[in-house]
Structure formats: C-alpha cells, structure tokens
Structure 1
Amino acid sequence: MELNDSLIMFLLAGIILLIIIIWIFKNNHALRLTTYQIKNDKLPESFNQYRIIHLSDIHNIDYGDNNKIIMNQVIKGNPDCIVITGDLIDSRKTIPSISLKLILELIKISPIYYVTGNHESRLKIYDQFEKELRQVGVIVLRDEAILLEKNKQVIQIIGIDDPNFDRSKDRKIVPSVIVDNKLQKLKKDNLFILLLIHRPELFDVYVKNGIDIALTGHTHGGQIRIPFIGGIIAPSQGFFPKYDAGLFQKSGTNMIISRGIGDSSFPFRINDNPEVVLIVLNK
C-alpha cells in the first residue's frame, strides 16, 4: 500500500520536529566549562594563578544524579573559591531544597561567595533561604566588602544586592545610581577589586568606579544566539543586548557575563549552551 503525499509530509514534519526537540533539550543541558585568563598589574603576587569558579542564574535547576554534571565541571576547574552571582533560586518555581542540595556539594570543594539577583528580590521566603545558606557556610555579601588574604597580601571582594531590593521601596530610584552610590562607599582604590553583582547592563558604572573585574549574569546568554550577532534578548536590555555573554573590557575594567546554568520564564536555549565559568587571575 502506497503512502499518499500528505501522509509522507506529515511524517517528515514529525521527524523534523522530534529532531529539533532533542537538539534543544541537549543544548539546554550541554554544560560547558569556559575559561578566561585575566591579567592585571594590581594583582598581588600571592594571587597569581588564583582560580575562581563563577556560577550564575542556576534557578534551582535539577540536573539529577546529585548534580554530577555541574560538579564535574566545577571540580575540573580546581577552584580556590566559588562565586554565585544571583538567581540561585527561581521566583516562579521556587524549590529552595534543590539549590541547597547543590550548595552542600559545592561547599565541600571551596569557600562560596554569593550575591542576590532579581529573582531573590521577589521572594517572600528569601530571608529564610539566606539564613540556611549562611548556616551551611556560604559567605553572603549584601552591599558589603571583605578582604581576601593570602600570604599576608589582600584583594577586595565587593558584593552588591540586586537593585530591585532597593527599588521595591521606591521604583523611581535608578539602578545605576543605586549601585554607583554603594560602590563609592565600599571600594578601596588602592586594592585589586573583584565585584560580584548580578547585572551586566551597568558596566559603565563599574568602569567609572575603577573595578578590576566584575562578575555578572542575568542575561542567560541572550537565550537564542545568532552567529556573528550574539544574543537575541536579555532582561533589562531588551532585543539584541549590548552585553549578552562573555568578556567585556574598557579602561582597565574587565566584566565577565556568565550564560548561567538554569532557565526561567523562557525555558529554551538555542545555540547558547549553559556554562560554568573559570577565571584564572594572572599578575
């Protein structure tokens, strides 16, 4: 019995759709380790070859099997510390236990420094979640700075809350002004400064304040990436964002934007692999 043309076309369309679904699923979970070598004369000699694993936008995603996929990439990076730049949990599908399970594995590898993202700013349970993070040893930085010491030499780590924490009280406050005021109060100009903050669209504020390295997230890499063009859309920037993913440099300031690990309202990535970022500091 011969198949008619319409049935053949229907079967071909089904096969093509199935291939696309499989490809998108694999793309969403094909976690990569992306490495950046950053050179800076201000870096103390003791921190030469210091290794930082940068995670962002995890959105309490569950990779299953005790997060083996994530842990393998982190272990491969052999970090001196791990930093998480916001959206560790998701405000739409909030499952704190998933994120805490990952944290309990990560804290066995190295110290963890964490700052909030816009999703944390929406959560009524955030205070309890932060308390649990601190109880297991995470260093939560909320508009504060600490000195990281190694062999009697120090660098400064600044962690800034997502601006939506302030804007929840007054929507007229401009995010760039919020962050600029906080950096002016916290930074020590004579030290190498590592800034942990969720938002990359405020890059010019980081440049103005002489930040050496800013580690950010928020964009999810633009969700759909077009070769030679970049990401299609990012929160707070809209279509074809200027700051979508990767390394940006200006006037001595380096900003690295993680594509993140999880997803939120738009659950698909196309040509946009999730990533674990490794930064190696060089004198």
Structure 2
Amino acid sequence: MNEMECLSLKDENPIRPERRRSSRPTRRKSLLTFTLVALLAIILGVGILAWRDTTRPVLRVIHVPVQGLSRTYRILQVSDLHGSEFRERQEGLARLVQGKRYDAVAFTGDMVRLLFEDKTPAIDAVGALKDNGPVFYVSGNHDDTGVAPALVAAGATDLEAVGSVRLGTDDQALVLTTGAALATARESDDDVLVVLTHIPPSEADLLAAAAPPRRTALVLAGHTHGGTIRLPFVGAIVAPPMGTLKGWNQFPEMRGFHVQGLRKHGDIWMHISPGLAAGSHPAAPQWWKFRLGARAEIEEIVLEPARQ
C-alpha cells in the first residue's frame, strides 16, 4: 500500500448511524395539552349548565290522582324565590304561565334572601302571577314579619292569617289550609284539603294529616331547593334540616329521604318544590347563587280524579 492510499484511509470518517430523537417529550406535551383542553371544556360546560339551571326556570307539570275528586283542580306552586329576579318585574315567571288560569297560586315561603332584605322581587312575583289565579302565601324560615303585609298589599292572601280558604261553589270545594288550621278546615266530607307549608313535615305528621277526620289529600312544601347541586345517580348532595333530618345532611336521597318532587306517604301525597333560588345562608358569600343539576322551576300541580 502506497503512502497516498494510507493517507486517504486515515482521512475517511466512518459513517455512524444517526440517533433517533426521543418522542417522549412530544407525547407528554400533547397529553398535557389534551388534558388542559378537556378540563377547560368541562369547566365551561359545567358553567353553562349552572347558568341555565340558575337563571332559566321552567314550568313543570305534576299530576296528582285523588280518590273521590269530582273535577280537576290546578295549583301553581312558587317556592323559595329568595329575592331572585327573573328579568324585569319577574317577566320570566309570567311568560312561563302566559295564558294559563289556576284555581290557586301557592307561594310556599322564603320569598326574601335573608331577614329584612329587599322585598321588591317578591312583590313583583305577586304582581306577575296574580292574573293567573288568586295568590296565597305561607311564610318560610327566611321571611321576616314584614313580608306578609307587603305581599298582601300587592294582592296576595296571607293564608297563615286567615287559616283556611275554600275555593269553589259546589258541594266539593278545594280547601287551602295550613298545618295550624288543619283541624277545623273541613266543612264537608267531600272537601279536598291541601296544606301549604314551607318546611316538609315529618312522616308522622304526614300520616296524622291523612288520618280521619282531616283526610288531607296533598301537602305542598319547599325549603330544600332540591339539594341545590344534584349529581347523576346520587341526587342531592346536601339537604337542610326538615322533619326527622336534624342538621345539614349529606346525600339524603341515597338514604331514602324525600327531598324533592312528588311522593305518596301512606294515603297522602306530598310535593316538595325545588324552588327558584340557590338558597342562602348568612355565612355564604354573595356570589354563592348558583344551582347545578337542580334547575330552577315552578310547578303546575294538577289534582285529577283517580282512576278506579
């Protein structure tokens, strides 16, 4: 081998295989981006759902079969307004029942957010709905003594002040009453008794109201807000004190407690309205005014003759 060939061999660099760049950082970045986008989408979706459930109430129709009823009665139940406003002068509520007529419009308490707060939204609610039927009011635990006079001045009847009201001119009347006046509410064996209350009674009190001679057909209550936040397959995550439930209770429906909607207890029906507002507590911040999975609603309660 000559000198030229030796120099040529020394100058040649061997070809080395190119190292592959690791794809792990890219994959991690993509996974992180996907996770963040998915999380933001979930937060946005939950926010939109909470906005809808809180600010866009619906009218729900509830059918209640009653033995011995001679005709159909319709009651509009409005509960737990807590000072909420649904458009100007409660036009959002008025639109839900536009053109409808009811035998009674039942306000079942908690019309103001906290004691001695502004009553204007509650007054506007009476004004928005009184053309749909006579308005009757019972107080809730958030209502101070000034609420009833303000609503009476707006056109409502304070049912706790008058005791009972008979609606209808035939032999069978729809009688709206309170728990305190229940013992003397019935004038005819054919009367249909409906109790308006705010806090749902205990099972024992319901059975007592259903027993002769009272024979109450239906109790309309509120107070629970349907739990304010409800989860699929779980129901309300919390419920306030009521009946035999003492203190605030977690996941009450999973333990069989009646928190919202219509249910029969022995011979008596009870409907617990989820109401309109998210509820309020003196310790809660002002911004805590949302519902989730428990949409704001008012209810058209249809009492109809039960099929034999």
Q: What CA distance in whole angstroms lies between the structure 2 residues aligned with 1:205 and 1:158?
A: 15
Which residue of 240, 245, 248 maps to 2:251? 240
Under a length normalisation based on structure 1, what TM-score does the superposition of the two structures give? Answer: 0.79
What is the aligned partner in structure 1 of residue 279 from structure 2? 264
* Equivalent AA in structure 1 for residue 251 of structure 2: F
Residue 199 of structure 1 corresponds to which residue in structure 2?
199
| Aligned mate of 2:51, from 16, 25, 34 | 25
Partner residue in 2 for 1:173: none
Distance 1:76 1:232 in 2: 37
SS in 2 for 1:33: strand
- 1:216 and 2:221 equivalent? yes
- CA displacement, residues 232-281 of structure 1 (integer Å, 9 cap, x when unaligned): 21110322231211111022100001110112235222211111111111
Check whether the contact 2:76–2:104 (CA below 8 A) recurs between aligned residues.
yes
Q: Which runs of 5+ in 1 are unaligned?
A: 161-181
Provide the secondary structure at the position in 2 that maps to 1:272.
coil
Superposed CA RMSD:
2.6
- Residue by residue, what CA displacement relative to the aligned partner does 1:62-87 show, whole Å, maximum 9, x if unpaired? 11133232112223653222101000
Give the conservation status (yes or no) of the 8 Å contact 1:91–1:119: yes
What is the CA–CA distance in structure 2 between the aligned matches of 1:5 and 1:54, rounded to whole Å? 54
Cα distance, 1:198 vs structure 2: 0.7
Pair 92,22 (structure 1): closer, same or farther in 2 beyond 3 Å: farther
CA shift in 2, pair 1:131/1:11, >3 Å: same
Query: What amino acid does structure 1 have at the position aligned with 2:233?
Result: F
| One-letter code aligned to 2:164 | A
State whether residues 101 and 133 of structure 2, in contact with CA within 8 Å, keep that contact through their aligned partners in structure 1: no
* Residue 139 of structure 2 is aligned to residue 141 of structure 1: no
Do 1:200 and 1:243's aligned partners in 2 also have CA atoms closer than 8 Å?
Answer: no
CA contact (8 A) 1:115 1:196 kept: yes
How many residue pairs match? The answer is 252
Per the TM alignment, residue 158 of structure 1 is displaced from its structure 2 partner at its CA by 0.9
Output aligned runs, 1:1-283, within 5 Å: 5=29, 8=33, 13-43=39-69, 45=70, 48-75=71-98, 77-91=100-114, 94-120=117-143, 123=144, 126-127=145-146, 129-142=147-160, 144-160=163-179, 182=180, 185-188=183-186, 190=189, 191-210=191-210, 211-236=216-241, 237=245, 238-241=249-252, 242-265=257-280, 266-283=288-305
TM-score, normalised on structure 2? 0.73
Asked if structure 2 preserves the Cα contact closer than 8 Å seen for 1:77 and 1:278, the reply is no
Task: Give 3-state SS (helix, strand or coil) of 2:168's partner.
Answer: strand
Partner of 1:153, secondary structure, is: coil
1:23 is displaced (CA, Å) by 2.3
Q: Residue 195 of structure 1: SS of its match in structure 2?
A: strand
Structure with bigger gyration radius: 2
Q: Which stretches in structure 2 are left out of the alignment for 5+ residues? A: 1-25, 211-215, 281-287
CA distance in 2, matches of 1:30, 1:263: 13
**Which residue identity lines up with residue 125 of structure 2 in the other structure?**
L
* Separation (CA, whole Å) in 2 of partners of 1:38 and 1:278: 10
Over the matched positions of the two proteins, sequence identity in percent amounts to: 25
CA drift at 1:11: 6.4
SS in 2 for 1:142: helix
